[in-house]
Structure 1
């Protein structure tokens, strides 16, 4: 099936008259959006610079900006004068259940698209690529995975990172005491207070947390990565191909038009609100290749 966005007339002709699916999820997200004039976006309060909440309550970030643009293209294709966005907070632990239960329509954060997770949800074309690392206090001199042997290491529940850590721990017999926590902020705090030796998470998110901390020079990112880099995608429900095609068509337009360049630069090479941190991370050649051929982001 072509990844080009279907016209509003064609899309609407394909809608069935069916109502809600199991657990409150709409059988057709596009039909629900067209009828209500509302799209619900799942967001994170803490995933700087992808999705986070400002002190005034505003939801912002790189993934948020992309989704706002996708929503505008969707509005145009559906012929709607307006399309309101309702932001719904989710956590790593509950995001899949909330999506599948219809609490929101698309998750615009920093969720890893891998084979295991695709058993439960669908993903858009990729918008970022990163690998799993760990952060520790610089004075601890922990650089490599084997350095974590016998230490307590925090990881956020509901992430792929905790699974990677558990697998390596078993395979290498490192006797790491894995500490599951509810949020990235809580895990980082354990390291800052010396109650955990390290925190395992996506390298880009750790770099942002270090940059936003009170004492960035106190922390160090690991030299090792826990597995191959994996892509981030916008998360959607299974069995809703029409909506997925529209989202992927919109992303393809954003990528190939060059619009993605300024959006990326805004969040990764310039100071960002509210504290003016700068990721200083130019776009990688790998990501440029994904933007040039978005459909290649699937394995």
Structure 2
């Protein structure tokens, strides 16, 4: 109660955290920031207790921060917002090509290898890992690929 939570202005996280704050009566003081770097700076400088954002962005910011060991990504997702590819609607051949490549990567195991390379192993420019293990939902999506939106 009464903690300051930084949230980047204009993101869906603002609405989600406000609703969670009201529903759970947490008395959180939401501190809007102009960008993710400012939100991280508030946490690093003890002007905010937390920064609420998409997990992948938090893990990425942590991995490139000056002191990643001082930061921890915690809690469960308040909302799931899958990432996707956007294609021209009037090009079914290109969509079929993209779908085929992605499904092929998933079925061959190459997708999991690529995920491990970019999210679990050290990467440039810092040569530090992002450190985000593949979640259950993505593992399930790999087992049963679909071009339908997640629910």
TM-score relative to the length of structure 2 = 0.78
**Which of the pair is proportionally richer in helix?**
2
Q: Which runs of 5+ in 1 are unaligned?
A: 1-148
Q: Deviations over 1:194-253 (max 9, x none)?
A: 22221101233223322322222222333x32525x25322527x826468344343223
Aligned length: 148
Can you list the C-alpha shifts for 1:101-121, whole angstroms capped at 9, x where unaligned? xxxxxxxxxxxxxxxxxxxxx
Does the C-alpha gap of structure 1 residues 285 and 227 become closer, same or farther in structure 2, counting only changes over 3 Å? Answer: closer
Residue 187 of structure 1: how far off its partner (Å):
0.6
CA RMSD of aligned residues (A): 2.7
Structure 2 partner of 1:179: 31
The one of 52, 59, 71 aligned to 1:219: 71
Gaps of 5+ in 2: none
What does 1:3-82 correspond to in 2, within 5 Å?
A: none
8 Å Cα contact 1:271-1:277 kept in structure 2: yes
- Post-superposition, which runs of at least 4 consecutive aligned residues in structure 1 deviate over 3 A? 241-250, 279-286
The equivalent position to 2:89 in structure 1, one of 224, 237, 240, is: 240
Deviation digits for residues 80-135 of structure 1 (CA, Å, limit 9, x no counterpart): xxxxxxxxxxxxxxxxxxxxxxxxxxxxxxxxxxxxxxxxxxxxxxxxxxxxxxxx
The question of whether the paired residues in 1 share the 8 Å contact of 2:6 and 2:51 is answered with yes
- 2:59–2:131 contact (8 Å) kept in structure 1: no
Check whether the contact 1:210–1:219 (CA below 8 A) recurs between aligned residues: yes
Is 1:154 the equivalent of 2:3?
Answer: no
Q: 1:293 to 1:184 in 2, by over 3 A?
A: same
Larger Rg: 1
Could you tell me which residue of structure 2 aligns to residue 163 of structure 1?
A: 15
* SS across alignment from 1:154: strand
Alignment equivalent of 2:141, drawn from 290, 294, 298: 290
Contact kept? 1:164, 1:226, Cα under 8 Å: no
**Distance (whole Å) between structure 1 residues aligned to residue 128 and residue 23 of structure 2:** 38
Report which of the two has the higher share of strand.
Answer: 1
